[in-house]
Amino acid sequence: MNCRECKEHLYEYLDRELTPEVERDIRLHLEECPPCGEQFDFEKLFLEFLKARCRAQGAPPELKRRILNELFDE
Ligand SMILES: [Zn+2]
Contacts of 3 (CB under 8 A, 6+ apart): 29, 33, 35, 36
The pLDDT averaged over each successive group of 10 residues in the chain (74 residues) is 93 90 96 95 89 71 72 66
> What does the pLDDT read at residue 60?
65
How many whole angstroms from 33 Cα to the centroid of ligand 1? Answer: 5
Q: Residue 36 C-alpha to ligand 1 middle, in angstroms?
A: 4
- pLDDT in the model for residue 27: 95
Distance 72 CA to ligand 1 centre (A): 23
Distances from the Cα of 64 to the Cα of 5, 6, 23, 34, 61, angstroms = 25, 24, 26, 28, 7
Contact 29, 6 (CB under 8 A): yes
* pTM across the whole model: 0.66
Distance 65 CA to ligand 1 centre (A): 27
Q: What is the pLDDT of residue 20?
A: 95
